[in-house]
Structure 1
Amino acid sequence: MQPTTAQYDLLERAIIDGSRLTIMRRGTEYVVIPERLRVESGREVIMARHPSTGHRLELIVDEIDSLEAVR
């Protein structure tokens, strides 16, 4: 998926506010708190953590199927 401008805005707002996002990737749903966005080897990577366990996750943006705010 190539994120839309609105999805990038949503991601940036979630990073700033510390709010949760639901990310679908390869049929698996992740609820995460994104902490930053970085580029590694030319690919954008979302650095996030699980809201309950605190485990860190790295999700590559071009592997994401969908991205939504948790309300």
Structure 2
Amino acid sequence: MNWTPRDYDRLERAITDRRRIQLVRRGSELVILPERLRTDFGEEILAARHPGTGDPLEVPLDEIDWFDIVR
């Protein structure tokens, strides 16, 4: 996915509003609760939690093929 400023804005708004997002990563569809964006050695990473179990999950942004905010 080529991240545009609009995509970053939407993702940051989902984090701020504590909204779930749906994403496709490596062909698998996930619904997660994003918590924050961070960088690690120049790589942007989305820190999130599984909404049902609360398990932590970290997803590099360059592995996300598609995302949308769950309404």
Matched positions, count: 71
Tell me the secondary structure at the aligned position of residue 6 of structure 1.
Answer: helix
| 1:3-62 Cα deviation digits (max 9, x unpaired) | 122211111001101100011011101101110000001110000001111011000001
Q: With structure 2 as the length reference, what TM-score do the two structures score?
A: 0.94
Alpha-carbon distance in structure 2 between the residues aligned to 1:58 and 1:30: 12
- Which residue is equivalent to 1:31? 31
Structure-to-structure mapping, 1:1-71, within 5 angstroms: 1-71=1-71
Question: CA offset at residue 2 of structure 1?
Answer: 2.3
Alpha-carbon distance in structure 2 between the residues aligned to 1:57 and 1:2: 22
- Structure 1, unmatched stretches of 5+, are none
Supply the RMSD in Å over aligned alpha carbons.
0.8
Tell me the secondary structure at the aligned position of residue 33 of structure 2.
Answer: strand
Runs of 4+ in 1 over 4 A off after TM superposition: none
